[in-house]
Structure 1
Amino acid sequence: MKLVTVIIPLYNKEKYIKSVIESILIQSFQDFEVIIVDDGSTDKSVSIVESINDDRIHLVKKCNGGVSAARNYGLQFVSTELVFYLDADDTLMPNTLETLYELYLRHPQCDIFTCNFIQSYPKIKEKPYCKGKTEYVISDNFRDFYKQKFYLRTGIFLVKKEILEKSFGFDEKLCKGEDLELFLRWLDYSKVCYNPTCVFIYCKDANELSKKDSDLESTLLSVIDFSNCSKWKKKILGEQVLLAIVFALLAWNKTVLKWCWKRYGINIFYLFRLIPITFIKTMRNSQLLDRLLLKLK
């Protein structure tokens, strides 16, 4: 039996999927299997996967239901203790799985094993995202997550299968923020360890300053609940709401503003106390100032 299962949701990624698979096959750690979940692709993605001859790669198919449904569907085929999620347009560093598995060996009592990653924008200096400088077992998940000593995103962590089963996986009703929603649920009851090694490069278009609008009822905002939250979790959730409100104000999107007021009411006044910290973090994390200056040149 293999030691790690890599789950990749696949939908119309013919341009990327071969390089993604190749980045897995050249890993220094080789004791893995790959579950690729085709979510009803209509391009050549499936034929590209089928052309790769490696018995560790397993292709399963389902009707189109979105990335969360694909990730959840893949879990039923996992026979290993450890699971690694990767998107079909991302590529790994050669030592990603080895670094994470060795972290697991050093801290087997933990549930989630995560590392640092590099943000990369064209013509802008690359930089590591997480502020944690040393390897450690996290004692206050939400505090350190808020302070960005560590982070969770696909491509940088291993998680024990039992934690996935306990959480019932990704919320399939959400199409935006579904990964953060699940990760925050994990942090409620999981023990996390972190290593500062960068194992992933997150490449973005420097001109991509915003995402397409989504139905608010299918985003993370629709499931945020401030009741029974710790101080640090409330700050994390508050930042998500605050950013949506401020961007709606800048665009004078009355629909979003009315929706947020109806849902959050008096809590909005608390959120505005977070404005200075939130926007300093946002500018720094997304390298927004550098990207705006580059766009103006």
Structure 2
Amino acid sequence: MISIITPFFQSEKYIEASINSVLKQSFDDWELLLINDGSYDQTKDIALSFKDPRIRYFEQNNKGVSTARNLGLSKMKGQFFCFLDSDDMLTPNSLKSRLDIFNNNPNIHFVDGKVIKMNESLNTINQEWSPNFNGNPISDLVSLSGNSFLGLTWMVKRITGKNYQFETQLTHSEDLYFYLQLAREGGEYSYTEDSVLYYRDTPNSAMSKLKGLENGYRFIEKKIKNWDEIDNELINTYQYRYKRAMFLAYLRDLQPINAIKSIF
């Protein structure tokens, strides 16, 4: 029923807990696709130590997380799919609570849920994020409101024959662009009130690499300017919000020159 795609690279510290969070799901009709993106630590051995037939293992040379996710997307068999980063964990009812929303409304294509952001040891809650949007999410995504997007937390109803792919040239914001492309093709977004993910805030979090994040925002800006679904006012909102976010992020990181450059 549900395909869960987990790419990993050098994740020996966290991968066992991540896989166990899938095994502990209250809904059990799932497959977990583990995609090894060229790890050379013990992550592969840990991944292969799980003998559950619902767990499928693939590997590639180190090509980046988007290419790894694309491999998982090409191999998935589920009617629905979602993603789980190798350092995060699903809550016990993560799959069931999102699937229930689909079952109650056949017009829904994307289902989200509450995310609990925790410290690296998962013993302190740093922040909780709750979605707050219903309908086609393309305008909400472009506006960077934070009402329908935190990261790869959606469960997606799979369209038979569709080729799902991430933009591999992006190192950051590839998740936002992936969702924008899905939303552009139509479909309604909704959410469960339940928590669906424990997000582990690690020192090496991708969001900490600011230049890559800025490049991702600028790539998306160039793409959506040509979309008929996006008007100039919404483009202006997107530009203002991402430039403001980058300006403040650079300042916090003591990069004043990059902060100034980011607003032009």
TM-score, normalised relative to structure 1 = 0.73
Query: How far apart, in 2, do the equivalents of 1:124 and 1:52 lie?
Result: 28
Q: Is the 8 A contact 2:131 2:149 kept in 1?
A: no
Equivalent runs, 1:143-162 vs 2, <5 Å: 143=140, 146-154=144-152, 156-162=153-159
SS in 2 for 1:71: helix
Q: 2:82 aligns with which of 81, 84, 92?
A: 84
Gaps of 5+ in 2: none
- Quote the residue 1:173 is aligned against: 169
Cα drift, residue 180 of structure 1: 1.6
Cα drift, residue 194 of structure 1: 1.8
Gaps of 5+ in 1: 262-297
Query: How far apart, in 2, do the equivalents of 1:4 and 1:117 lie?
Result: 19
Q: Which has the higher helix share?
A: 1
Q: 2:102 aligns with which of 98, 101, 104?
A: 104
- Number of aligned residue pairs: 252
Cα drift, residue 157 of structure 1: 2.1
- Quote the residue 2:183 is aligned against: 187
Cα drift, residue 152 of structure 1: 4.7
Q: Is the 8 A contact 2:18 2:89 kept in 1?
A: yes
The structure with the larger Rg is: 1
**Higher relative contact order (CA closer than 8 Å, sequence separation 6+):** 2
Query: How far apart, in 2, do the equivalents of 1:236 and 1:141 lie?
Result: 12
- Percent identity of paired positions between Structure 1 and Structure 2: 24
Query: How far apart, in 1, do the equivalents of 2:99 and 2:91 lie?
Result: 14
Query: How far apart, in 1, do the equivalents of 2:92 and 2:182 lie?
Result: 27
Quick one: structure 1 residues 237 and 38, their matched pair in 2 at CA, closer, same or farther if it must change by over 3 Å? Answer: farther
- Quote the residue 2:255 is aligned against: 251
Q: 2:199 aligns with which of 197, 202, 214?
A: 202
Query: How far apart, in 1, do the equivalents of 2:147 and 2:156 lie?
Result: 18
- Report the residue type matching 2:61 in the other structure: C
RMSD of the alignment, in Å? Answer: 3.1
Q: 1:114 aligns with which of 112, 115, 129?
A: 112
Quick one: structure 1 residues 181 and 192, their matched pair in 2 at CA, closer, same or farther if it must change by over 3 Å? Answer: same
Equivalent runs, 1:1-297 vs 2, <5 Å: 3-121=1-119, 126-130=126-130, 132=132, 137-138=134-135, 141-143=138-140, 146-154=144-152, 156-162=153-159, 165=162, 168-188=164-184, 189-204=186-201, 211-214=208-211, 219-225=216-222, 227=225, 229-230=230-231, 231-232=233-234, 234-248=236-250, 251-253=255-257, 257-258=260-261, 261=264
SS in 2 for 1:88: coil
Quick one: structure 1 residues 203 and 13, their matched pair in 2 at CA, closer, same or farther if it must change by over 3 Å? Answer: closer
Cα drift, residue 141 of structure 1: 4.6
Quick one: structure 1 residues 251 and 217, their matched pair in 2 at CA, closer, same or farther if it must change by over 3 Å? Answer: closer
TM-score, normalised relative to structure 2 = 0.81
Q: Is the 8 A contact 2:113 2:196 kept in 1?
A: yes
Query: How far apart, in 2, do the equivalents of 1:93 and 1:103 lie?
Result: 16
